[in-house]
Amino acid sequence: MWRIVQTDGTTLVSLAELHDAFGIGAGFSTRLGGVSARPFDALNIGLHVGDKPEDVLENRKRLARAIGLDLDTMVFANQVHSATIAEVGTADRGRGACCTDSAIAATDGLMTRARGVALALTFADCVPIILFAPSVPAIAVVHAGWRGTAASIAASSVVLLSTTYGVDRSSIYAVIGPSIGPCCYEVTAEVASEVEAGSGCSRPFGQEKAASTDVAGAHTPCVETARTGTASIDTAGGDTAAGKARVSLDLPAQNIAQLIRAGVPDSNITHVNICTSCRRDLFFSHRADGGRTGRFAAFAYIPCPRL
């Protein structure tokens, strides 16, 4: 379903099989192939992180070119770790593409049935979710941090896609993108319980550890690259300050559980199981990079018919 490819010097996680099977364009950018300097090197897509705006715009143009689009077809949102999902259409093309002022406000999910409108959200550990309903066709891109997961944004997006476009939930497909894995993601027990309540499933969090447990090496990395850095307070995760018991949280699994609970068949869900914290060579990681880093994008679009 997915593979890592390089197009015009830009490295992407390609979901080309979606296009071949359903006519849907979708994928994820990486940190490779852009112009941004450290600590945003190199293909930073986030305009809000302190990078030079002109570098980010060049990176966005490179991303758009790599996927065969113009930047002014893309729609971005000002993400706030909410459970808000907005429907966009042709009139919204270009919003947020060149500046944050025009982005869809206070939103962590975008959906559309309009052709030629590319949905894009940015990530650096949180869970990217791409949904598509081939029968309409309709698509959605969702940003699920721990707060959004606790607020059931994955399940809500399935319900909204279904009710808005008259889609049978069992016909919806989902792709979970690269995000921080349970190997590297420690939160307080309170945060874990809040996420569990939002997902409505039993705790797949791993072993609870005493506060004195050494963080480094506490988990088996999900890829060959060993984890570097330490736990911290960040927007993707909960407070892991010293003196509090910690648990290992599997945020992708929580969102997959929500999708299944909402009616998406397990067989319709693909997980790009790459940990952003382990694979800092490929992706940005807010936690592993100490909070100052770039953002990669999840994107989806329904191509316009060829004339």
Residue 58's Cβ-side half-sphere holds a number of Cα atoms within 13 Å equal to 13
Task: Report pLDDT digits (tens) over 124-163.
Answer: 999 999 999 999 999 999 999 999 999 999 999 999 999 9
What's the CA gap between 37 and 280, in Å, rounded? 15
User: Exposed, middle or buried by CB within 10 Å (0-12, 13-18, 19+), for 38?
Assistant: exposed
pLDDT of residue 245: 79
pTM: 0.88
Closest by CA to 164, choosing from 140, 129, 143, 130, is 140
Rounded average pLDDT over 166-173: 98
C-beta neighbour count of 193 within 10 angstroms: 15
3-state secondary structure of 271: strand
What's the CA gap between 288 and 184, in Å, rounded? 9
Question: E strand or H helix at 252, and its extent?
Answer: helix 251-262
Can you point out the beta strands (E) in 228-280?
Answer: 246-248, 269-271
Sign of CA dihedral 222, 258, 145, 37: positive
Helices (H) and strands (E) in the chain, counts: 6, 14
What's the CA gap between 38 and 35, in Å, rounded? 10
| Under 8 Å between Cβ of 54 and 43 | no
Closest by CA to 24, choosing from 14, 33, 10, is 14
What's the CA gap between 111 and 142, in Å, rounded? 9
| Under 8 Å between Cβ of 104 and 95 | yes
Task: Report pLDDT digits (tens) over 269-301.
Answer: 999 999 999 999 999 999 999 999 999 999 999
Q: Which tokens is 89 given?
A: 């259409």
pLDDT of residue 18: 87
Is the pLDDT at 254 greater than 50? The verdict is yes
Rounded average pLDDT over 96-114: 98
Statement: 3-180+252-301 belongs to CATH 3.40.50.970: no
Q: Which residue has the higher pLDDT, 306 or 182?
A: 182
Task: Report pLDDT digits (tens) over 231-242.
Answer: 333 345 555 455
The rounded mean pLDDT for the chain is 89
Task: Report pLDDT digits (tens) over 43-87.
Answer: 999 999 999 999 999 999 999 999 999 999 999 999 999 999 999
